[in-house]
Structure 1
Amino acid sequence: MDFSLFTDASSILFLVLFGLITYTLITQCRRPSGMPPGPRLWPVVGNMLSITGKQNLIEAFRELRQQYGDIYSLKLGSSWIVVINGYDNLKDALVKQGDMFSDRPDNFFFTRLLQHQGIIGSSGLLWKESRSFTQKTLKDFGLGKRSLQDKILEEVTILLKTIENTKGGIFTLKPLIQGVFSNIVTSIVFNRRFDYDDPQMMKIRDMLHEHLTDSEFSGILDAIPLLESFPGDLFHAKRLVDVERKLDAFVQKCLDEHKQTFDENNLVDYADAYLFEMKKRQHEKDSVYSERQLIRICRDFLLAGTDTTATNTRWAILHLICKPEIQERMFLEIQDVIGLERPPDMNDRLNMPYCDAVCNETMRVSNVGPLSAPRSSRVDVKFQGYKIPAETVIYPSLDSVLFDENIYPDPEDFIPDRFLEGSKISTSMTKLNVPFSLGKRSCPGEVLARQELFLTIVSLVRKFKFLPPDGSGPPAKKRMFGVIFFPAEYKLRAILRN
């Protein structure tokens, strides 16, 4: 038998396979034509090595910006991403071309966890209809009006009494603050509040915090989806999915209880309004209103409306402990404008520019959400001279604006005066303060969050002087990073003012 034929065939097969592997490796190490610049690509891992070994993702993004400019690209696993930095670039992408960059990418976080539902996770018509309905409904139920302010102050009054009961002793702020804002959310959504030590709600608040801290791991799962199938739960994929399931179950239980008292002639909260809208549109073939979408929107309310505002408040008190002179200057303005006999009112804010500046500086320097939620486009997009292919993941860096040294000299320092223009709040500076992002996909709860922070911080400083737990100095401003930046747990004392 002539074995040379097999030898020749084997050689040809080897050469073909070698050629295919070589071609694949070369193409993996090449940026698509017109893409923004970025670090050198490596086979299989892409640019993963460019972001590993850093303190956190934001530090890595800052260093890459210094090397490659305001707009750069990375390949993480199988995904191409483009990071956009700088206020003008963000305004161009999120406002001027907002419709082009309004979709959510298909990745672990938005597909597996959020299932492209709710307001945070949805795209297209579902997102537009849900956002529009939510904004209108929130206004109908008091967003920016006296009725909602009264709900906030009701919770703040309970918080003040709880802190007063510590009698100047050492305590932890986190569970109390979480209780305040979770109750504001549940009162808007279900017209219901919970005791701060309610076991069920304490568990839910822990899960919300866990979701925001563990979701840091979703980035690697977004880049390499195969990791979800690995034995064990090294990247917390199973844990994140389980948290989502439990949050959905909690909302479903609240909704089932709510249906028992639902009266379409007396709509008292968001869930009522949505159920009524569902009923009106039940015969529409393409209606986006469904109970599943309602559950996901309510979950979004809990996730976005509880831990983020609570975290900003915890940062605010920590900053004030570290800089007692700022705390006292706030108190003097509070004394002059509203005195010590009545709670603050949102109408007071115009006459309290320093307190307003403290709130603005808190949201800026705390940098709770350094990255706006990722976007994508379903078509190729021309942007700032670059060609960004369809399905590319877009990361708008809010951090690049909030910590821009050209806007905010010494950006790491807590300096409320940077938001003042004489004796008034600076509108030009507040315009550049973008912790809630820009454009149509900016946080729909921004008005509520700003209202909550002002009323809560002013009420706290009016009532108490906040001090370190002992004479060893203020707590450290240590940043912990998940999806958001939150302060490491700290203890404090609150002394009742005379």
Structure 2
Amino acid sequence: MWIRAILVAVLVCLLILYFLKRLQTQKKYPPGIPLYVTLVKFIQAGFRIQPDSLTKLAKEYGAIYTVWDYNMRAIVVSGYEGIKEVLIKHSEEFSGRPVTPLSRAVVGDKGIVASNGHIWEQQRKFGLVTLRKLGMGKKSLQRQIEDLALQLVETFARENGQPFDPSVHFFSSVAKVICALVFGHQFSADDEEFLKLMQALNFGVHFGGTFFHLLYEAAPWLMKHIKGPYKEVYAAADVIFAQARKEIEMHKTKLAGNDPQDFIDYYLLQIEESKNDPTSTYDTETLVHCISEFLFGGTETVSATLQWVLLLMVLHPDIQEKVQKEMEDAFGSSRSINYEDRKKLPYTLAVINEIQRFKCVLLVSTPRECIKDVTVFGFHIPKGTITIPNVHSVLYDSKIWETPQKFNPNHFLDKDGKFVAREELLIFGAGARECLAKNMAQMELFYFFTILLKAFTFKLPEGVTEVNLDPAGGVIFYPQHYKICALPRVH
């Protein structure tokens, strides 16, 4: 009997010591809230992530606060100064990428976006150099994007001015840009493999940020007991990986000498050149993950932004007309517009940038992980802490933007009407982990926007007077499904 009493006493003492240690550890972190509280708020919001969710918490807990559970700590940083401090001033310290339970199960730690340490440094450097070689910002890539934008004009024209949903067309066109860059060829719209790839990518986009996604991250130990949609997640990933492996094998048989044509060609040559280097991280499986990252990351954000582009244009016909007039005044009605010409279109650039600010498709910049102890604004942030930059808090800050809650292209124009790039537009991240394909994304938005508005005037269907501007649920903020009419312009 006394042995049992001693064991109980020892257990109680150990539990007390454990909780005292946890309380002491928590004092080192910024003030914050348990993870279950954020999950409750998520449920109260109808199982949807709201754009201002983290900003509301920042008003309650401060510009830097902690979200924690029994085995995880994450700090959320809000406000421009705080995010600049983390992403730019302490870029090296916050250059890690956290591996979440779901990402570990699906993609592991390979590729560029998901990797860390030497693997990440080598893969990112290779990615940047290769994208430049493939024409990042040069005419070869411009031509491919322009051609696909012109194909989209033909697709819209076949609607004959009748109401249609542009979302599938945008997703398909942007995916073709990435396929051309990575695979070296485009798929036809009805290609069975392309349709399967599109379906898998689309599922991944809309699964992110859902209740089941957050549940997986919060309680991965439950997953073996709950079937849910997780098998579909794995199946979608398998489709993307299988297509990548198929393309790699095709490239191995066709690659001739030193004449690479696309990302896979360059990577296969790099594998061959590095085969005797013991520090090399280049291998076929890492290439598979690099391809999946390009497909997923390069498709979702640009296609979502393009959907907001047309929706905002039909809601602001005066701005749409002003963009069209600027293009005509600068280049006439027939001449095509090159990317180098963009400086002659200050108002058009301002509109594109304001769309990205006003309807940013990401709630946060891609999370980082602290790779060494660091102090930020007086708070000690230990190594291994997940850091989440709250981009929304900057894009809607009344101290930065004159009318943050309104769509206002003047945010990017000076008093003389000249375009002003704003460093506060943090949609591509900053520092060591800034988006690898930032230039390509900007080029896509410019070409699709100008070519479509040059060809059409976009209007709401007859009888439609109201449009829901609340984003659909998910980690990517797509607009609610809508229909528009593309009316050919008479030149």
Q: Which TM-score band (shorter chain)?
A: over 0.9
Is 1:180 aligned with 2:173? yes
Deviation at 1:164, TM superposition (A): 0.7
d(CA) in 1 for partners of 2:131, 2:318: 37
Q: Which residue of 2 aligns with 1:256?
A: 249
Q: How far did 1:334 drift?
A: 1.2
Which of 420, 428, 432 is the aligned partner of 2:413?
Answer: 420
Cα 1:462–1:474 change in 2 (3 A) is farther
Query: Is 1:229–2:224 an aligned residue pair?
Result: yes
Q: TM-score, normalised by structure 1?
A: 0.93
Task: Say whether 1:11 aligns with 2:5.
Answer: yes
Residue matched to 1:455: 447
Alpha-carbon distance, 1:475 to partner: 3.1
1:18-417 equivalences under 5 Å are 18-24=12-18, 32-39=26-33, 41=34, 45=36, 48-49=39-40, 52-54=43-45, 55-56=48-49, 58-216=51-209, 217-233=212-228, 236-417=229-410
Give the conservation status (yes or no) of the 8 Å contact 1:309–1:453.
Answer: yes
Q: Deviations over 1:18-76 (max 9, x none)?
A: 4444554565566523211123x59xx57644654235264331121001211111113
- Per-residue CA deviation, residues 392-441 of structure 1 (Å, 9 max, x unaligned), is 111111111111121123323211121111344443x5221111111120
Contact residue 98 and residue 439 of structure 1 kept, 8 A: yes
Contact 2:95 2:371 in 1 (8 A): no
Structure 1 CA distance, aligned partners of 2:329 and 2:15?
A: 74
Q: Cα 1:29–1:219, aligned 2, differ >3 Å: closer, same or farther?
A: farther
Cα distance 1:474–1:204, how it changes in 2: closer, same or farther (>3 A)? farther
SS at 1:491's partner residue?
Answer: coil
Q: Residue 426 of structure 2 aligns to which amino acid in structure 1? A: V
Which digits, 9 at most, give the CA deviation of each residue in 1:281-330, with x for residues without a partner?
Answer: 11112211111111111111111111210110011100101111111111
Given residue 220 of structure 2, which amino acid in structure 1 is its aligned partner? Answer: P
State how far apart, in whole Å, the 2-side matches of 1:69 and 1:443 are.
Answer: 27
SS at match of 1:104: coil
Q: Does the 8 Å contact 1:108/1:218 carry over to 2?
A: no
Answer yes or no: is the 8 Å Cα contact 2:52–2:393 preserved in 1.
Answer: no
Confirm or deny: 8 A CA contact 1:72 1:84 kept in the other structure. yes
Deviates more, 1:64-73 or 1:377-386: 377-386
Give the % identical residues.
Answer: 28
CA distance in 2, matches of 1:474, 1:273: 49
SS of match in other structure, 2:254? coil
Residue identity matched to 2:30? P
RMSD: 2.0
Give 1:343 deviation, angstroms.
2.1
Corresponding residue for 1:3?
none
Residues 220/426 of structure 1: CA separation in 2 closer, same or farther (3 Å cut): farther
Distance 1:405 1:227, change over 3 A: farther
Other structure's SS at 1:116 match? coil
Which letter maps to 2:44? G
| In 2, Cα distance between equivalents of 1:404 and 1:196 | 41
Structure 1 residue 215: deviation in Å? 2.1
Q: Which residue, out of 468, 471, 474, partners 1:476? A: 468
Question: Which whole-Å CA distance do the structure 1 matches of 2:284 and 2:303 have between them?
Answer: 28
SS at match of 2:95: coil
Query: In structure 1, what is the Cα distance between the partners aligned to 2:199 and 2:205?
Result: 10
Distance 1:304 1:48 in 2: 26
| Structure 1 unaligned residues grouped into runs of 5+ | 1-5
* 1:95/1:109 CA distance change after superposition, 3 Å: farther
User: Do structure 1's residue 493 and structure 2's residue 488 form an aligned pair?
Assistant: no
Structure 2 gaps of 5+ residues are none
Cα gap change, 1:402 to 1:322, in 2 (>3 Å)? same
Deviates more, 1:110-119 or 1:9-18: 9-18
Amino acid corresponding to residue 274 of structure 1 in structure 2: Y
Alpha-carbon displacement from aligned partner over 1:332-387 (angstroms, at most 9, x marks no partner) = 11111122212221122111011101110111111111211111123322222111
Name the amino acid aligned to 1:449: A
Given the superposition, is the C-alpha separation of residues 497 and 121 from structure 1 closer, same or farther in structure 2, using an over 3 Å criterion? same
Deviates more, 1:327-336 or 1:467-476: 467-476
Q: Which amino acid aligns with 1:203?
A: K
Letter in 1 for 2:190: D
Q: Tell me, what secondary structure is at the counterpart of 1:387?
A: strand
Compared CA separation, residues 286 and 194, structure 1 to 2 (3 A): same
The number of equivalent residue pairs is: 486
- 470-479 vs 309-318, greater mean Cα deviation: 470-479
Equivalent residues of 1:103, 1:375 under 8 A apart: yes
Paired residue type of 1:396: P
